Amino acid sequence: MHRRTCLLALAGLPLPRILAAVEPSAGSNGAETDSKVAFDAVLPGRVLRFPDDEGAHPGFRTEWWYVTGWLKGTEGDPFGFQITFFRVRTGIGEDNPSAFAPRQLLLAHAAIADPRLGRLRHDQRAARTGFERAGYATDRAHVRLDDWSFEQMDDHYVTRVNAEDFAYDLRLAFTGPPMFNGDQGFSRKAPDPYHASYYYSRPQLQVDGQVTLDGRRQAVSGRAWMDHEWSSAYSPEGADGWDWVGLNLDDGGALMAFRMRRPDGTALWASATRRFSDGRTQSLGPEQVEWFPIRRWQSPRTGIEYPIEWDLRIGERRYRLQPLMDDQELDSRRSTGTIYWEGAMRLFEDEREIGRGYLEMTGYGNRIQVG
């Protein structure tokens, strides 16, 4: 989901802070969101169409393309990777013909979960659109920010990242149709359906390509998961944050689950989507999804405590989530001001590993609010 978190938090900041993060000189220009701006609404019954809905939806306030996965290279143990591109409609300068008007912002975040290092490698980018530096397509998935990109090519995606201490160039091939979350892609985030998104996933992407770590390039292969989600009213009142997981199962199936979390740790809302190995899909509501924390880890840098091992009840089945490594905290206080945990996970059922994916947990140190 959702995840995306440092970028999502940026979307929830006052516009002067957003602009300052993208271009420091803009932080003092007095820009504020036009209260008359009407963002597009998420409504039930809309039929998602492809490839058009793979592209951007600039009438909505927030949108993201989020890719996570596990890779195995020629050197050492498996590791995780993540890339997110995030679009924000600011509500500023909508009637201003100037290319400098910050109507749309693009942000990106990439990371490698490296067990040899024992923590995340990560980097970020941000820019306003309207110049060659950043842009997106509306008829297919294609978003770019400097020399980072995510692009749809018929039956696969290609993503390229060049960060300070890592890089990757990956091909992610489709192995099946999109998986619609919620009610055919209408995904509620609260009892009030006003708080909702359009949301689909592409699990079981077959990955191959190149990854560079510490200046050494290696061929890699693995499996990945892509989320695409857009909304204008995402976070409900009363939610401090969320817990989300997307998992590729060894039998070819897939599992997505999330909950919006109250300050006391209970679920304000929860949902899950399960795709079986034969292609059937099951959508599960709040009464069928429960999260039980099993083990916690405290960050030595921030002091925040995260539940990094979980039992999940999804319908009639029970699962155990265990992390690739404990320290997968991303601390972006020097940029967006957000701290969260996002990392590679193993999934077990009856003490047998049955899948791998990613877990994102937000709001354990500070409340996450997304418009």
Domain that holds residue 340: 5-26+53-361
The count of other CB atoms within 10 Å of the CB of residue 75 is 13
pLDDT tens digits, 278-299: 999 999 999 999 999 999 999 9
Question: Is 251 inside a domain boundary?
Answer: yes
User: What's the predicted TM-score (pTM) here?
Assistant: 0.89
Question: Is 130 inside a domain boundary?
Answer: yes
pLDDT tens digits, 70-122: 999 987 789 999 999 999 998 887 777 776 678 889 999 899 999 999 999 99
Please determine, for residue 366, whether its predicted confidence score (pLDDT) is greater than 80: no
Question: Is 369 inside a domain boundary?
Answer: no
Say which CATH number the domain at 131 has.
2.40.370.10
Residue reference for tokens 């002091």: 303
| Residue 105 CB contacts under 8 Å (≥ 6 apart), including other chains | 18, 22, 87, 88, 90, 126, 127, 128, 129
Sign of the CA dihedral with 141 first, then 142, 148, and 154 last? positive
Pairing relationship of beta strands 119-128 and 104-114 according to DSSP bridges: antiparallel
Work out the average pLDDT over 314-330: 96
Percentage above 70 pLDDT, the chain: 87
Question: Is 229 inside a domain boundary?
Answer: yes
Question: Is 180 inside a domain boundary?
Answer: yes
Note the pLDDT of residue 34. Answer: 56
Question: Is 79 inside a domain boundary?
Answer: yes
Note the pLDDT of residue 80. Answer: 98
Q: What is the CA radius of gyration of the chain?
A: 19
Sign of the CA dihedral with 127 first, then 357, 180, and 220 last? positive
Q: How many structural domains is the chain composed of?
A: 1
